[in-house]
Amino acid sequence: MGSSSVKLRVGSLFMNVGKSEKHDPDIRQTPHVNINPFTPDSLFLHTSDGQSRRRKRTYWNDSCGEDMEASDCELEDETIRPAKRITITESNMKSRYATEFHELEKIGSGEFGSVFKCVKRLDGCIYAIKRSKKPLAGSVDEQNALREVYAHAVLGQHSHVVRYYSAWAEDDHMLIQNEYCNGGSLADAISENYRNMRYFTEPELKDLLLQVARGLKYIHSMSLVHMDIKPSNIFISRTSVPSMTSEEGDDDDCSSDRIIFKIGDLGHVTRISSPQVEEGDSRFLANEVLQENYAHLPKADIFALALTVVCAAGAEPLPTNGDRWHEIRQGKLPKIPQVLSQEFLELLKVMISPDPEKRPSAVALVKHSVLLSAAKKSAEQLRIELNAEKFKNSLLQKELKKAQMAKAAAEERALFTDRMKTRSTSQNRTSRLIGKKMNRSVSLTIY
C-alpha cells in the first residue's frame, strides 16, 4: 500500500493520501482526520508500541448517524494518527445551509447560538439546525462545539436522546443538524404551565423522571456523562397514537398524544474516566462538581435530574447562589406547591443527597419501585400502540381482500363478455352458411 492511493471516508470528510515519491514504502502519509475521543473504537486506531495492526476493522458513523459497512472503512496495515486536528476553518465549504435547507423560523437561542426550524429541500422533512455564534474558529467555543458533535455521533440513536444527523462548518460557524422535537423544550412547557396556573401531575412527573433516567442510563453505559441536565435541555416529542374503534378506519376522534422526553444539548458531555469537566448551569450543579471532586460524575446527572423534576412540579425558580442554593446542596428539597406522595418526595430527596454515593444510579432509577406504575403505564401504552397497528393491518387486509375480489369479478365479467362475443360471431357465421343467400333444396319426387 506504500505506492497505492488510500481513500479514507470518515463522516462527511474525504481525505486522499496520494502516492509518495521516493519514500520508503513503510512510511505512510498520515491523513488529517479528527479522532473522536468519546468512542471506544478510537482506542484501537493506534497501538502503544507503534506497530501497525493487521486488517483492523473500524466502524464509524456517517453523516446520517447510521453505521457504515466494514468494507467502507477497512484499513490494511495502516495506523491512523492525525498529524493535526481539523479545525472549523479548514472544513469550511460553500453554504450547505442555504443550499440544502429552507429556514422556517427561529425556535430558540442560548449560550451556544441559535436554533432554527428548517425543512430539507431534498426529503421535505423538518429538522432543527443549531448554528453557533461567530467567531468560533480557534476559540474555546469551538472545542465545545466539536465535543457536542463527538458526543452525538457516538451516542447514535436512542429513543430518549435527541437524534443527530450531521454537522458541518461554514464561515466560522458550526452547524449541527438534529431531530426536530415538535413539543419544544421542557422549559417551554413549564413556562406555559406557570402562565396557566397548572403543574405537571405526579403521574406525569414520574413519567418524566423515568424517561430521562432511561436516557441517562444509556449515556452512562457509554462511559459518558451529560453534565448539563436541566429543563431547557430536555425536549418533547408529541406523537398521535390511534386507538381501537369499532368503525373501520374511523379513528380520527379516538387518538391520544404520546409524549416522549429526549435529552439534548450535549456540549458539556465528557468521559467518566479522565474527564474534562465544563461546569453547566449553577442552578442544577452538584456541590461535589463545584469542589472539583469528579469521583462520582454520573451522580451529578442524577442530582440535576431531581431538580429538573422539581421545577416541572411547579417550584419557584431555583437560586444561582446564596443560602437557598446551599440548603438544596444539604439535601433540602425546594418548596413544591402541590401535594405529592411521600414516597415520591423521598425519592427526589435521596437524589439530591449531599453524599453522591447515596444517590441512586440511572440503572436503579429505571427499576425503582416508586416508578413501577409509570413503567407499567409505558408498557401499557406500547400494548395500545401494538393493538392499534394490528387493527390497521386488519383493515388493510380487509381492503386488500375486497380489492382482490373486485379484480376477480371484473376479470370474470371481461371473460364472460369475451365468450358472448365469440358465441355471437359463431352464430353469425352459421347463419351465413344456411341463411337466405343459399339455394334451397326442392324435392320433385311424385308418388
Q: Which of 62-66, 313-317, 385-389 has the lowest mean pLDDT?
A: 62-66
Enter the C-alpha cell of residue 166. 450531521
Q: What is the mean pLDDT of the chain?
A: 77
**C-alpha radius of gyration, the chain, whole number:** 33
CA distance 93 to 123: 22
330-to-149, 303, 326, 355, 403 alpha-carbon distances in Å: 35, 12, 6, 9, 69
Q: Which of 55-64, 81-90, 315-324, 382-391 has the lowest mean pLDDT?
A: 55-64
What is the per-residue pLDDT for 411? 83
Is 109 part of any known ligand binding site? Answer: yes
Residue 266 pLDDT greater than 80, yes or no: yes
Four-residue CA torsion sign, 335, 336, 341, 346? negative
**Which of the four pLDDT bands, split at 50, 70 and 90, describes residue 348?**
very high
228 classed as catalytic: yes
**Which of the four pLDDT bands, split at 50, 70 and 90, describes residue 434?**
low
**Which of the four pLDDT bands, split at 50, 70 and 90, describes residue 98?**
very high
Helix (H) or strand (E) run with residue 430 in it: helix 372-434
What is the per-residue pLDDT for 248? 46
**Domains along the sequence of the chain with CATH:** 1-86 (no CATH), 87-180 (3.30.200.20), 182-413 (1.10.510.10)
Q: Which of 99-103, 193-197, 399-403 has the lowest mean pLDDT?
A: 399-403
Q: Which of 228, 251, 252, 253 is catalytic?
A: 228
Is 113 part of any known ligand binding site? Answer: yes
Is 232 part of any known ligand binding site? Answer: no
Is 38 part of any known ligand binding site? Answer: no
Residue 69 pLDDT greater than 60, yes or no: no
Is 14 part of any known ligand binding site? Answer: no
Using an 8 Å Cβ cutoff, are 270 and 246 in contact? no
What is the per-residue pLDDT for 391? 75
Residue 135 pLDDT greater than 50, yes or no: yes
**Which of the four pLDDT bands, split at 50, 70 and 90, describes residue 60?**
very low
Arithmetic mean of pLDDT, 33-39: 71
pTM over 0.85: no
Using an 8 Å Cβ cutoff, are 114 and 79 in contact? no
Using an 8 Å Cβ cutoff, are 217 and 363 in contact? yes
What is the per-residue pLDDT for 378? 58
Is 111 part of any known ligand binding site? Answer: yes
CA distance 299 to 278: 16
**Which of the four pLDDT bands, split at 50, 70 and 90, describes residue 148?**
confident
Most confident of 45-59, 103-117, 349-363, 380-394: 349-363
φ, ψ for residue 87 (rounded to 5)? -90, 170
Q: Strand (E) positions, 121-267?
A: 126-132, 164-170, 173-179, 224-225, 234-242, 255-263
Is 259 part of any known ligand binding site? Answer: no
The SS3 of residue 167 is strand
**Which of the four pLDDT bands, split at 50, 70 and 90, describes residue 410?**
confident
User: For the residues of 307-340, what is the DSSP string, one character each?
Assistant: HHHHHHTTPPPPPSSSHHHHHHHTTPPPP-SS--
Residue 100 pLDDT greater than 80, yes or no: yes
Is 108 part of any known ligand binding site? Answer: yes
Is 376 part of any known ligand binding site? Answer: no
